[in-house]
Amino acid sequence: MDNHLSRRGFLSQSLTGISAAWAAAHWPAMLSASAHARQAAQSASPAKFEFFSPEQAAEIDAIASRIIPTTDTPGAHEAGVVFFIDRALVTFAKDNQKLYSDGLPALQARVRELFPSVQKFSSATPEQQDQVLESFDEQAPGKGRRPLIPGPAVQSFFETLRVHTISGFLIDPDADKRGNRDGAGWKAIGRDREHMFMPPFGYYDKDYPGWQQDPQAPDKPKS
């Protein structure tokens, strides 16, 4: 909200004197931004699953909703992560189909093993659900190295589902991937939906007076 107000403030302030020139200079981008919006409107077609049965989809949705729960901000459910995963499994993540087909029944078996009175994951309480997932999560946090995104050679069902859930929550909502519905994931992490921004960007640069040479700077560097 703050950002929004400060950007509007920027536009209405004539003291910078560059808003109009700025807009003129950026028209190709504005066209591209409106193309994005159009594409988004087209992709908001009614949901239909391509890989999961409705029953499977309900279970995946329930699991994804524990990986990124709904709190005071949207979670995996609101972001339609299950639709992203469903599309992924018939496109770029085809190789993971078996992992899901085998993994989901194994996870349901674990539910019944831990909680004999519960039939399936989606019927368990949130606490029970977390216990089931914890029993599947054997991955230690990565050390040192800094992979941008985990590679395709993913190890276990849970780890794959975790990676897919996070990806489906945060993917560009305008990408052709059916994830991050309505930008819900970006809303949760505080990223504006736009693909074009103007300074000031954040708290620390909003009062920046402009670049000035350090008055203490030596003419010649010390060696």
Partner 1 sequence: MTPPETPKYKTTDEVDFVVIGSGAAGGIVAKELSENGFRVVVLEQGPYLTEKDFIHDEIEVLNRDFLTNHPDLQPNTFRKTPDEKAKPQRTIAYGRLVGGTSTHFTANFWRFHEIDFKEHSKVGDVPGAALADWPISYADLEPYYTKVEWEIGVSGQANASPFDPPRSKPYPMPPLPVKSSGVIFERAARKLGWHPFPAPMAILSQPRPGRSACINCGFCLAFACEVGAKSSSLATAIRMAEKTGRCEIRPNSYVHRIEMDANSRATGAIYFDAQRNVQRQKAKAVVVCANGAETPRLLLLSANKQFPDGLANSSGKVGKHLMFNSGAMSMGVFEHPLNDYKGFAVSRILHDFYELDPDKVGFHGGGGLDARFDMTPISFAFAGLPPGSPRWGKGFKDVLSNNFARTVEIFCHGTSLPVENNSFSLDPDLKDAWGLPALRMTYKDHPDDVKLSNWLNLRAAELLQAAGAQKQWSFPAGEQEFSVHLLGTCRMGNDPKTSVINSDHQTHDVKNLFLCDGSSLVTSGRGQPTMTIEALAFRASDRIRALAKRGDLSA
Return the percent helix, strand and coil in the chain, to nearest 5. 50, 0, 50
For partner 1, the binding residue among 160, 170, 181, 184 (CB under 8 A) is 170
Residues 102-141 that bind partner 1 (CB under 8 A): 130, 133, 137, 139, 141
Q: Using the rule CB under 8 A, which residue among 5, 15, 41, 148 binds partner 1? A: 148
Residue closer to partner 1 by CB (options 48, 145) is 145
Which range, of 9-17, 49-57, 115-123, 188-196, touches partner 1 by CB under 8 A? 188-196
How far is it, in rounded angstroms, from Cα 169 to Cα 223?
A: 50
Q: Which of residues 64-83 bind partner 1 (CB under 8 A)?
A: 66-69, 71, 73, 75
Site for partner 1 contains 166 (CB under 8 A) = yes
Cα of 151 vs its chain's centroid, Å: 17
9 counts as binding partner 1 under rule CB under 8 A: no
Under the binding rule (CB under 8 A), the answer on residue 223 touching partner 1 is yes
CA distance 93 to 83: 13
Cα–Cα distance measured from residue 150 to residue 144, given in angstroms and rounded to the nearest whole number: 14
CB nearer partner 1, residue 68 or residue 107:
68
Cα-Cα-Cα-Cα torsion 58, 59, 60, 64, nearest 10 degrees, comes to: 100
Q: What is the 3-state secondary structure (H, E, C) of 26-72?
A: CHHHHHHHHHHHHHHHHHCCCCCCCCCCHHHHHHHHHHHHHHCCCCC
* Number of residues in contact with partner 1 under rule CB under 8 A: 70
Residue 92 binds to partner 1 (criterion: CB under 8 A): yes
Six-digit token string for 99? 């992992």
Residues near partner 1 (CB under 8 A) are: 2-3, 25-29, 32, 66-69, 71, 73, 75, 92, 130, 133, 137, 139, 141, 143-144, 146-152, 162-163, 165-167, 170-172, 174-177, 185-186, 188-192, 195-199, 201-205, 208, 211, 213-214, 216-221, 223
